[in-house]
Chain A
Amino acid sequence: MNVPVKNSKDKNIREVKNVIIRFAGDSGDGIQLTGGIFSHDSASFGHDISTLPDFPAEIRAPAGTVAGVSSFQLNFSSYNIHTPGDIPDILIALNPAALKVHLPDLKPGGIVILNQDAFTKTDFKKAEYETDPRTDDSLSGFELYELPITTLTEESVKTTGLNKKQSSLCKNIFTLGIVCWMYDRSLEQLTKRLDKLMGNKKPEMAVANKLALQAGYNMADTLEIFMSRFQVKKANLPPGKYRRISGNEATALGFLAAQECSGRPLIYASYPITPASDILHELSKIRQFGVRTVQAEDEIAAIGMAIGAAYGGSLGLTGTSGPGIALKSEAIGLAVMAELPVVIVNVQRAGPSTGMPTKTEQADLFQALFGRNGECPVAVFAPATPADSFKIALEAFRIAIKYMTPVIMLSDGYIANGSEPWRIPEPGELPDIEVAFAEETDDFQPYARDPATLSRPWAIPGTAGLEHRIGGIEKEDGTGNVSYNSLNHEKMVHLRANKIAGIAKDIPPLTVFGPEQGDLLVLGWGSSSGAIRHAVENAQQQGLKVAAAKLRYLNPFPENMETVLRSYKKVLVPELNLGQLRMLLRAEFLIDVIGYNKVQGQPFMTGEIEAKIYELLKPESAPETTNEVEI
C-alpha cells in the first residue's frame, strides 16, 4: 500500500491513506493543546479528521503518575473517515507514565517518540515501572526514537530569555515540529495559529513556541535519524466552507441556530458539570446574540429556570451529564404535565453515580426514556457525530416547540470532546421553526389539542384574555383545570403518550448504508455510529451482505424502524452499555436483536465491531475479539 515518493530534498516519503497519531504526556504537558492545534492544521490542510481526547478527571493528578496521563488521538486521512482510529501508528510519550498507559495500544512496528529527559529513576518510580522499559523487552518490535526533548527545547528557546520552567513548557510544540517533518507538513499555518492562540495574551510564549516548533522540524530534517517519513493527501470532501468543530461547540451553535430559525430568544440555565460545561462556556460568550445564560445554583434550579423561560415564550434550555439528569427528573415530569417546550442536553458519561466523569458511555438511554415517575413520555434524540450535534440540537427545538414537549438530546463524552471537519451551513439550508403563540379567542382552552400534532397552545403570560393556571396536578382535558377524575386521567395519559408517538410522522425514516436487505444490520446510536460504519465498510469489502444504520431518533423510533429491522437475517446492536437499545427493540418489535456491549469508558474500536460481524457471519474465520473483560 505504501508508495515511495520523492520530495524536493530527495528523501523518501511514503504516501499513506491515513495516520493515527497519539500524543501522550502528563496532564500539565499541554497535550490537549498540541493535539488540538495539529488536528486543526490537518483539517485546514484538507484532510478528513476525527479526534479522541482523553484526560483525567483530576485537574492536576500528581505529576508523572499513571493517573495523571492525558492523551489526544488524531486520525487524519485522504478519505472519508468515521472514527479517530483503533490503533495508533505513532505514539509520542513525554514521560514514562504516558508510555506505560499507551504502549499496549500501539500498532506492532509502530513509531514511538520518547522524551529521554523524562526517563529518570524518579520518573520510573512515579510511573510504577520496576525496570527501565527501554532496556527490557517492552519496546522491541517498535520503531523507537529517543530524544532529549526537554534539553533540546530549552536550548532552542534560549534567545527569548525565558526561565527554565517556561522554556520546558514548549517541549510539546518542539515535538510537534518533529511530527510536522515526519508527515511532510509545512509550518506556515501552525506558526500563524500559535500567534493567534498566544500572541495577544502571552507574546513571549508565542515567540518561544514558534522557535521550538521550527527547532523540532529542523532537528528532524538535519539529523536524519528518522527512518520514516509519510505523506497523506487531501481528502475528497463535499465542496463548501469548513471549520473544525467539537460536539459541544456544535451543540451550542445548533441551539443558537434554533434561536435564529425561530426568532425566539435562547435562555440556557445550567450547573457546571463534566463533560457538559463547554456548552455553558460557548453560550455564555455570545451575549451579542441576546443569548442569556444563567449559572444556576444546582441542577434542579437549572431546569426550573429553563422551564420558566419556556413558559414565558423563550427557548428554554438546560444541559448536564448523568448525575444531573437524575436530579432534573421531577422537573422534566412537570414539563411533560405542563406541556412546555424545553430542551435538555445530557452529555452522557460513565456511571452510575459520579462514575467516571471524563469517560464516555451510553448508559443513560433508559434514564432519558423512563427515568421519571408516572407515565411520562418525552422525545429523545441523539447525534451520531460531533458535527451532527448541530442538526440534532436544532431538531430538538423544532420538535419541542411543534409538539409542546420536553426533548432530551443524548450526547456523550466522546461526541462532546471529539471533533471533525464541519461544512458550515449556508443561509437557506436551515429549517424555519414556526412559533405561533395563542391569542385571545372566545373559547380559549389551555389544553385544547391541535388535531394533527396533539399539542396544546403556547399561551404565554402577557397575552390579554388568556389568563389561566397550569401545574403539575393532573389536568382536565381541554380546560386544563385540576382534575382527579379517573377516566380523565387515563385519557390524559394516553393523549400525552400519543402526542410523543405521533412525532414519528415528523422525523426522517431510518436509512441504511449498504444493501437494503441482507444477512446482517449493524444498528447503532450516538457516538458508536462511526465505528459501526467503518467496521461495516470493511466487512462489505470482504463481500459480506451487511449494512449499517445510525439511529438518531430514539423516541419515538422512525416509522420504518420495524421494516428495516426485518429486512436482515440478523440485527447487531453495539452499545456502550449493557444492552439498553437492544432491550427496547426486543420489547417493541419482538425481534431477537443481538447485543454487543462494552462499558470501559472508551468508545468502540472498529476492529471490535468488525470481529463481531465476522463472528456472526463467518464464524470459521473470525479473529478473536481481544478487548472483552472476563467476568
Chain B
Amino acid sequence: MSSEIHSSTSSQNYKRQDFQSDQMVRWCPGCGDYSILAQLQRVMPEICAEQSIPKEKVVFISGIGCSSRFPYYMNTFGFHTIHGRAPTFATGLAVARPDLHIWVITGDGDALSIGGNHFIHTMRRNINLKVLLFNNRIYGLTKGQYSPTSEKGKKTKSSPMGSIEEPINPLYLALSSGATFAARSIATDSKHLQSVLKRTAVHRGTAIVEIFQNCNVFNDGAFDHFADKENIAEHTLYLEHNKPVLFGKNKDKTLLIRPGDNGLGPIAVSVNDVPEQDLIIFKEDDEPNYFARFLAQLDGHNYPMPLGIYKSVRKPCYEDLLDEQVAIAKTQHGRGEFFKYLEQGDTWEVQ
C-alpha cells in the first residue's frame, strides 16, 4: 500500500485482446454497439503505442443506457455512473488527474436529454475528454420510446400518434457550444470509424464523436436513407481536410451555398461546372467554422450526410488553464504554507 500512484513507465505492445474484459457482452444480437466496441478495441493498441499510454491510464466513464454498458467490456479502468452525468464525473477525474486518458461513453438520451446541460458545458470548458455519443435515435434500454434525436412524427410506445418534438442535432449543438474537436461516423463503416477514433484519441481538449448506430430492435433502418448500400454513394459525403467536399458515385458532385427559395442554402452541382475559385475547400481548423456548422445541418435526405472530422482546433484545455492558475498563484504568493495561512488577517495573542 502506498500514497503514491504506481504505473508502468512505458506502454507495452498491446493487442486487441488486452482491451477485452472477462464480462459477457450483452447487447442485443445485431446491435451497432458491437461494431463500435470492436473498432475501439482494435485501435486502442495503436493509440496507446503512439502516445505511450500505459493501459492503466485509460479510463472509460459512462452514464446510463445501452451504450453506457460499454466500460464493463473494456479491460481498462471504468466507471458506469448515473444517467446523463458521465461528463461531470469525467470532468472531476480529468481535473484531478490530467495524466489520464479519459473516454466518455454516452447515448442520445443520456447526453442530450437528461444530460443536456452537462453536454454543452463540457464542450465550452474544453476538458480533455473523448466523448463518444452513440446515436441510435431511440431509447433502447427502456424499450423503445422516442429520443431527443428521433425525427419529428416518430411513432413509438410513448408517442403512438407521432412525436411532436423537433430533434436535436448533436453535432450542431456541440459545434455551437464550442467543441474543439467534432466528428461524425457510423458504426457500419468500420474503417472510417477506426480512423475517426484514432484522430479523436490524439486531440487534447474535448473531442466529441457522434456515431450513428442502428438499433435493430426498436429503430431498425434509422440511417438507411443515407447509409445503406443503395444510398451511400449519393447520400454520404466524406469530409477531408483541405479538399473540396465531394460526393456521388464518381465523387464528381460538390456543394455550393447560394440564395434559394428558402434563403441562403446548399445546392448540389457537378464539380466540373464550378470554376476553381468558387469551389469550397473544407478546412477542419477553420475558426469559427461556419462551414462545418452549415454541413452539420445536412441530414442525408436532400443533401448528403457529411461524415468525418468537422472541426479540429487547438485551444488550451480547462485543466491546463487551471494548472496554470495554480502555478501563477504559487509565483505570486509563494507555495502555500498551511500554518502561516491560518494566521491570515489579524491575530492576537492570549497569554
Given contacts A296-B88, A308-B91, contact A464 B82 (CB under 8 A): no
| Contacting residue for B92 out of A263, A267, A473, CB 8 A | A267
**With A and B bound together, what is the CA distance between A440 and B7 in angstroms?**
10
Provide the residues of chain A in CB contact with B78, threshold 8 Å.
468-471
Q: Smallest CB–CB gap between B93 and chain A, Å?
A: 4
Query: Taking the complex as formed, is A615 at the interface, i.e. its CB lies under 8 A from any CB of chain B?
Result: no
| Contacting residue for B336 out of A242, A290, A439, A470, CB 8 A | A290
Q: B93 contacts A312, CB within 8 Å?
A: yes
**With A and B bound together, what is the CA distance between A196 and B346 in angstroms?**
10
**With A and B bound together, what is the CA distance between A269 and B85 in angstroms?**
14
Q: Indicate the member of A260, A294, A423, A482 with the most B CB atoms within 10 Å.
A: A294
Q: Smallest CB–CB gap between A77 and chain B, Å?
A: 14
Within 8 A of A (CB), among B184-207: none
Within 8 A of A (CB), among B292-351: 322, 325-326, 328-330, 332-336, 338-339, 341-351
Q: A308 contacts B90, CB within 8 Å?
A: yes
Q: A463 contacts B346, CB within 8 Å?
A: no
**With A and B bound together, what is the CA distance between A212 and B274 in angstroms?**
79
Q: A257 contacts B338, CB within 8 Å?
A: yes
- At the interface with chain B, which of A135-143, A403-411, A424-432, A620-628? A424-432
Q: A471 contacts B81, CB within 8 Å?
A: yes
Query: Taking the complex as formed, is A305 at the interface, i.e. its CB lies under 8 A from any CB of chain B?
Result: yes
Q: Smallest CB–CB gap between B313 and chain A, Å?
A: 22
Q: B121 contacts A44, CB within 8 Å?
A: no
Provide the residues of chain B in CB contact with A334, threshold 8 Å.
81-82
Provide the residues of chain A in CB contact with B5, threshold 8 Å.
313, 437, 460, 462-463
Q: B8 contacts A435, CB within 8 Å?
A: no
Within 8 A of B (CB), among A415-455: 423-427, 435-440
Given contacts A305-B88, A314-B96, contact A44 B338 (CB under 8 A): no
Q: B350 contacts A256, CB within 8 Å?
A: no
Provide the residues of chain B in CB contact with A381, threshold 8 Å.
none
B347: nearest residue on chain A (CB-CB)?
A243
Query: Taking the complex as formed, is A200 at the interface, i.e. its CB lies under 8 A from any CB of chain B?
Result: no
Q: B341 contacts A464, CB within 8 Å?
A: no
Provide the residues of chain B in CB contact with A463, threshold 8 Å.
5-7, 56
Provide the residues of chain A in CB contact with B6, threshold 8 Å.
439-440, 462-464
Chain B count of residues within 8 A CB distance of the other chain: 68
Q: A313 contacts B96, CB within 8 Å?
A: yes
**With A and B bound together, what is the CA distance between A265 and B56 in angstroms?**
21
Given contacts A288-B329, A331-B85, contact A301 B118 (CB under 8 A): yes
Provide the residues of chain B in CB contact with A90, threshold 8 Å.
none
Q: B56 contacts A473, CB within 8 Å?
A: no
Given contacts A312-B97, A467-B76, contact A242 B330 (CB under 8 A): no
Provide the residues of chain A in CB contact with B338, threshold 8 Å.
256-257, 260, 289
**With A and B bound together, what is the CA distance between A265 and B326 in angstroms?**
12
Q: B343 contacts A241, CB within 8 Å?
A: yes
Provide the residues of chain B in CB contact with A242, threshold 8 Å.
347-350
Provide the residues of chain A in CB contact with B224, threshold 8 Å.
none
Query: Taking the complex as formed, is A292 at the interface, i.e. its CB lies under 8 A from any CB of chain B?
Result: yes
Query: Taking the complex as formed, is B272 at the interface, i.e. its CB lies under 8 A from any CB of chain A?
Result: no
Q: In the complex, which range does the number of interface residues on chain A fall in?
A: 35 or more
B327: nearest residue on chain A (CB-CB)?
A287
Provide the residues of chain A in CB contact with B96, threshold 8 Å.
265, 267, 292, 308-309, 312-314, 316
Q: A292 contacts B326, CB within 8 Å?
A: yes
Query: Taking the complex as formed, is A237 at the interface, i.e. its CB lies under 8 A from any CB of chain B?
Result: yes
**With A and B bound together, what is the CA distance between A203 and B81 in angstroms?**
53
Q: A289 contacts B72, CB within 8 Å?
A: no
Q: B95 contacts A305, CB within 8 Å?
A: yes
Given contacts A243-B346, A288-B330, A439-B2, contact A472 B85 (CB under 8 A): no
Q: A241 contacts B80, CB within 8 Å?
A: no
**With A and B bound together, what is the CA distance between A312 and B333 in angstroms?**
28
**With A and B bound together, what is the CA distance between A253 and B345 in angstroms?**
14
Within 8 A of B (CB), among A255-275: 256-257, 260, 263-265, 267, 269
Q: B81 contacts A193, CB within 8 Å?
A: no
A-B contacts counted at CB < 8 A amount to 235
Query: Taking the complex as formed, is B133 at the interface, i.e. its CB lies under 8 A from any CB of chain A?
Result: no
Q: B88 contacts A300, CB within 8 Å?
A: yes
Provide the residues of chain A in CB contact with B21, threshold 8 Å.
469
Query: Taking the complex as formed, is A543 at the interface, i.e. its CB lies under 8 A from any CB of chain B?
Result: no
Q: Smallest CB–CB gap between B239 and chain A, Å?
A: 30
Provide the residues of chain B in CB contact with A564, threshold 8 Å.
none
Provide the residues of chain A in CB contact with B99, threshold 8 Å.
462
Query: Taking the complex as formed, is A82 at the interface, i.e. its CB lies under 8 A from any CB of chain B?
Result: no
Given contacts A292-B95, A439-B6, A471-B81, contact A240 B342 (CB under 8 A): no
**With A and B bound together, what is the CA distance between A238 and B350 in angstroms?**
7
Query: Taking the complex as formed, is B171 at the interface, i.e. its CB lies under 8 A from any CB of chain A?
Result: no
| Contacting residue for A46 out of B7, B54, B74, B350, CB 8 A | B350
Query: Taking the complex as formed, is B254 at the interface, i.e. its CB lies under 8 A from any CB of chain A?
Result: no
Q: A304 contacts B89, CB within 8 Å?
A: yes
Task: Bits for B1-43, please: 1 = Cβ < 8 Å to A, else 0.
Answer: 1111111100000000000010100000000000000000000
**With A and B bound together, what is the CA distance between A256 and B335 in angstroms?**
14
| Contacting residue for A288 out of B82, B97, B332, CB 8 A | B332
Query: Taking the complex as formed, is A461 at the interface, i.e. its CB lies under 8 A from any CB of chain B?
Result: yes
Query: Taking the complex as formed, is A539 at the interface, i.e. its CB lies under 8 A from any CB of chain B?
Result: no
Task: Bits for A120-161, please: 1 = Cβ < 8 Å to B, else 0.
Answer: 000000000000000000000000000000000000000000
**With A and B bound together, what is the CA distance between A481 and B21 in angstroms?**
11
| Contacting residue for B1 out of A238, A256, A437, CB 8 A | A437
Q: A237 contacts B8, CB within 8 Å?
A: no
**With A and B bound together, what is the CA distance between A244 and B346 in angstroms?**
8
B18: nearest residue on chain A (CB-CB)?
A467
A470: nearest residue on chain B (CB-CB)?
B79
Provide the residues of chain A in CB contact with B349, threshold 8 Å.
239-242
**With A and B bound together, what is the CA distance between A46 and B326 in angstroms?**
37
**With A and B bound together, what is the CA distance between A471 and B23 in angstroms?**
14
Query: Taking the complex as formed, is A559 at the interface, i.e. its CB lies under 8 A from any CB of chain B?
Result: no
Report 5 cross-chain contacts, Cβ distance below 8 Å, ordered by A residue: A44-B348, A303-B88, A424-B339, A425-B339, A471-B78
Q: Which 6 A-B pairs have the closest CB atoms?
A: A308-B92, A304-B88, A471-B80, A305-B92, A289-B336, A287-B329
Chain A: residues with CB nearer than 8 A to chain B? 40, 43-44, 46, 193, 196, 237-244, 253, 256-257, 260, 263-265, 267, 269, 286-290, 292, 294, 296-298, 300-314, 316, 330-331, 333-334, 338, 423-427, 435-440, 460-473, 481-482
